[in-house]
Amino acid sequence: MSTRQIRERAEGGESLAGREWTVDVGPVAHGGHCVARHEGQVVFVRHTLPGERVVARVTEGRVGDSFVRADAVTVLERAPGRVEPPCRYAASGLCGGCDFQHASLGVQRQLKGDVVREQFSRLAGLDVDVSVRPVPGDEDGLRWRTRVEFAVDDLGRPGLRAHRSRTIVPLDDCLIATRGVIDSGVLDTDWPDIESVDVIDAAHPDEPVLVPLPVAPGSDASGGLVGELVRDGDWEGEYVVSARGFWQVHPGAASTFLARVVALLGAGPGDLVADLYAGSGLFTMRLAALVAPGGSVLGVEGDARAVENGIRNTEHLEGVEWRANRVDRELRSLVSQGVSADLVVLDPPRTGAGKDVMRLVAQLRPRRVIYVACDPAALARDVRVAGEQGYAMSSLEAWDAFPMTHHVECIAVLEPASPDDGRR
């Protein structure tokens, strides 16, 4: 038996990578691909659309695997809404940053809506009616990404990675990056002995911030502070965040989500609001003004640096308290003390809040919970847990804050399942 055969037996079965199959493409799936079958084998195919017939080249998978991954390399029958990708790097074997450049914006949003509906049906047992709305501030789905981390290859050339690969694709432009990111000169510069370069195009300072990684000894690993201006109707506020911390990268996302959270939450004077996974206080600073006089906002965030920025952003406001703690630990402490809340805002990371947090939130007995989610699967799982705790989803919105990619932002409203539940 050859070394190759021994390795293949140990790893599973014979590798199928490189095989080309003609397949009929079925529905979109979560993750930026569509589902097809070849002789009973499930195939997740990128660069295609439902209803197409394509030649798919296998990129990952072995005989006996439950599914394999593939790229569409030839389109034999096109679906309505297919367009020529605006970026020449959005192709099989090249940059993996975009999933849907081959689809019109309308079709992209339809596909994302299909994914949201499928995730809620499968994971939460709910039939949801949702359409994906555009977020203002991009250029027909391009030039919206205000922060990009460019990888650097062994020759010092900056680029982006291929899909599910460590391979770096050198490039001279990224069409979803803002003009400020590209005009920074990052792609025109050689970066010897550097692994990657993070470029941040914020409102302040006027020039983009470039952070080579690894950071030189003695340098600020956070990249320093950047400022963002957000608006909710006639109200506007400026807040600072760490350049390499979490913030919404679409220029219209922060103001859009702030306005929707405020409108859906319905906070008023005297309310006690728990702002969980509060970051640097995007929602906290606006809510503090709405619950005054007599109300308060508790911001809970596990990142100590973000809490420092949050304190700075809200130090001029009354009724704001910050806790630098894991959300589950802080909630457990609050519940043990018998603390309750009128309203809760949840904006967890992509993995979601999780069972423990959702159960503890229900024990605060809020009259309404607003959940901001960047992953519909995680949101659907948490909504199911909320339902088990007596909280039902009363509305769901979806927003296209990441055009050309499969990502979609959702905002869900959870309320006591019966009018007699909750604080009021």
Query: Is 118 labeled as ligand-binding?
Result: no
Query: Is 347 labeled as ligand-binding?
Result: yes
Query: What single DSSP character describes residue 186?
Result: G
* Interatomic CA distance for residues 328 and 353, integer angstroms: 9
Token readout for 248 is 């919404």
Q: How far is CA 107 from CA 48, 77, 130, 239, 255, in A?
A: 12, 17, 14, 35, 25
* Interatomic CA distance for residues 393 and 345, integer angstroms: 14
* Interatomic CA distance for residues 411 and 395, integer angstroms: 8
Query: Is 301 labeled as ligand-binding?
Result: yes
Q: Are the C-beta atoms of residues 413 and 383 closer than 8 Å to each other?
A: no
Closest CA to 154 of 164, 138, 167: 167
Which of 87, 98, 374, 410 is labelled catalytic? 374
End-to-end CA separation in angstroms for the chain: 73
> ∠ CA 165-26-351 to the nearest 5 degrees?
50
| Total Cβ atoms within 10 A of residue 201 | 22
Q: Where are the beta strands (DSSP E) in 99-183?
A: 132-134, 147-152, 158-161, 168-170
Is 374 a known active-site residue?
Answer: yes
Q: Can you state the angle between helices 282-291 and 304-314, rounded to 10 degrees?
A: 40
Q: What element of type H or E holds 377? A: helix 376-388
Its sign, for the CA torsion 81, 86, 90, 96, is negative
Token readout for 13 is 């079965």
Token readout for 49 is 């659309």
> From the CA atom positions of the chain, what is the Rg in Å?
23
**Coil, strand or helix: which one is 211?**
strand
* Interatomic CA distance for residues 288 and 100, integer angstroms: 39
Which residues are annotated as part of the binding site?
248, 277, 301, 347
Which residues are annotated as part of the binding site for S-adenosyl-L-methionine?
248, 277, 301, 347
Active-site positions read 374
